């Protein structure tokens, strides 16, 4: 389905959007963007939805080891050399930010599977699904719809209850950064007031509970990104894009060039692109870097160590991954510097490529990812 979205040009008085002073800046000098790797030599590894997304139809047990977007999954990821966990935040109808990826939550009643939109549930209704924190309570069953429409019971090896954004701040190790995706439905037309109301609820929790935790905001919704950047200057805002792999009604989502333009004009700090979009168009990396923007990627190819290393060579600053342990360990071996002396840097197991070999790889990869 095509995306329908409200363009900035269609929103009156966007320059006048404002929130209470609470959201203007928390630190006198704003956030130190080097804490999130922007223009930093450190190559970041971010756990996708914690310890990885759930692919319930997959034969790979690692894709259903932990319930995604859960406290258990976040803390499991924290055991490895990851810098951030990425997760999706939506706002319930009673204004509570909760962590859940899908727009709809599926359950079963009287042998019939039904679905309800997450943002139309109250907090208490949302928390009734899945395992319950109180041993005496039994939660409603959880199902999930795959991309091909199949409905599957949401069974994982280590399950956990659904959670709120506030709980994540309280229960996840404080050294672990949060990449908070501001989640909006691609197929809904949002008015300015709706976006602001949801963002107010999320920002309130962040500013009350983040303390010194590194935070990145990201979103596929262009106007939500621009508003978030405008109303606060403490935390960096990244624009999420498929990098041209899919076409949407909103042209700002249809290419990396359009995403770059949005970031420059809106004062955003970075781009998070589907990795295939970068590998199909490697020349855009230099343009993004020239604009002084950070660049992260997501996608299945980020579970391949060689593809991750190649991105490091290209100047990409971090990857969002599902196979957290494997990629974190590979990055530690191939990329992160090990100092023997202050002036001497050695990299363990670092592949060596000549300029000719690198040129060949850059030409070959776009062909491979078309398969």
Report pLDDT digits (tens) over 145-160. 998 889 999 999 999 9
DSSP conformational letter for 370: T
177, 208 in Cβ contact below 8 A?
no
The sign of the torsion formed by the CA atoms of 21, 24, 30, 35 equals positive
DSSP calls for 37-85: TTT-SPPEEEEETTT----TT-S-GGGGSB-TTSHHHHHHHTTSS-SEE
Residue 294 predicted with pLDDT over 70: yes
pTM: 0.85
Helix 222-231 with 256-266: angle, nearest 10 deg: 20
The per-residue pLDDT for 362 is: 62
> What is the average pLDDT value for the chain, to the nearest integer?
86
Q: How confident is the model at residue 315 (pLDDT cuts 50, 70, 90)?
A: very high
> pLDDT (tens digit, 9 = 90+) per residue, 57-107?
999 999 999 999 999 999 999 999 999 999 999 999 999 999 999 999 999
């Amino acid at each position: 389905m095509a995306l329908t979205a409200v363009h900035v040009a269609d929103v009156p008085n966007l320059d006048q959007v404002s929130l209470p002073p609470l959201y203007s800046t928390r630190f006198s000098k704003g956030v130190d963007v080097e804490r999130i790797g922007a223009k930093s030599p450190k190559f970041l590894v971010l756990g996708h939805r914690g310890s990885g997304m759930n692919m319930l139809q997959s034969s790979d047990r690692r894709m259903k080891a932990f319930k995604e977007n859960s406290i258990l999954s976040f803390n499991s990821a924290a055991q490895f050399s990851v810098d951030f966990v990425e997760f999706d935040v939506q706002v319930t109808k009673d204004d509570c930010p909760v962590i859940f990826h899908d727009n709809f939550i599926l359950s079963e009643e009287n042998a019939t599977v039904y679905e309800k939109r997450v943002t139309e549930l109250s907090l208490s209704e949302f928390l009734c699904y899945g395992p319950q924190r109180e041993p005496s309570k039994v939660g409603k069953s959880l199902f999930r719809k795959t991309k091909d429409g199949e409905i599957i019971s949401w069974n994982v090896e280590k399950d956990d209850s659904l959670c709120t954004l506030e709980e994540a701040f309280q229960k996840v190790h404080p050294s672990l950064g949060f990449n908070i995706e501001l989640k909006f439905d691609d197929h809904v037309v949002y008015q300015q007031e709706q976006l602001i109301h949801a963002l107010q609820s999320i920002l309130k929790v962040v500013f009350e509970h983040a303390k010194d935790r590194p935070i990145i905001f990201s979103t596929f919704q262009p106007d939500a990104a621009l508003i978030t950047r405008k109303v606060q200057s403490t935390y960096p805002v990244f624009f999420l894009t498929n990098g041209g792999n899919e076409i949407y009604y909103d042209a700002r989502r249809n290419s990396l060039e359009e995403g770059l333009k949005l970031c420059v004009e809106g004062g955003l700090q970075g781009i998070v692109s589907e990795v295939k979009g970068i590998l199909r168009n490697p020349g855009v990396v230099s343009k993004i870097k020239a604009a002084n923007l950070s660049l992260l990627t997501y996608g299945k190819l980020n579970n391949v160590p060689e593809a991750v290393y190649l991105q490091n060579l290209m100047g990409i600053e971090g990857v969002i991954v599902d196979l957290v342990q494997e990629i974190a360990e590979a990055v530690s071996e191939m990329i992160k510097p090990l100092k023997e002396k202050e002036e001497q840097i050695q990299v363990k197991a670092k592949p060596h490529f000549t300029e000719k070999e690198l040129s060949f790889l850059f030409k070959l990869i776009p062909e491979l990812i078309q398969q």
